[in-house]
Amino acid sequence: MPKLKTHKGAQKRFKVTGKKKIVYNKSNKSHILTKKTAKRKRKLGKAGLISAADRKRIKRMLPNDF
């Protein structure tokens, strides 16, 4: 059976933690920041967790991280 290949786009966007949770960086933090509230910008700076509904798809794209 051939080797499983990692999806390079997913590899750049998602990271697997030590407890096998998948985290990602949130979007909308690069420009047009004047109309966004300070609270919203603060929350965008923190990493987000992938929902249970999407976890299976991302695991399939990152076979060597699990």
| pLDDT for position 20 | 93
Q: What residues have CB less than 8 Å from 26, skipping those under 6 apart?
A: 43, 44, 45, 46, 47, 48
| pLDDT for position 66 | 87
The CATH code of the domain at 8-26+34-65 is 4.10.410.60
pLDDT tens for 25-59 read: 999 999 999 999 999 999 999 999 999 999 999 99
- 15: three-class secondary structure by DSSP: strand
User: What does the buried/exposed string (b/e) look like for 12-40 if buried means 16 or more CB atoms within 10 Å of the residue's CB?
Assistant: eebebeeeeebeeeeeeeeeeeeeeeeee
Domain extents in the chain: 8-26+34-65
**pTM, full prediction:** 0.83
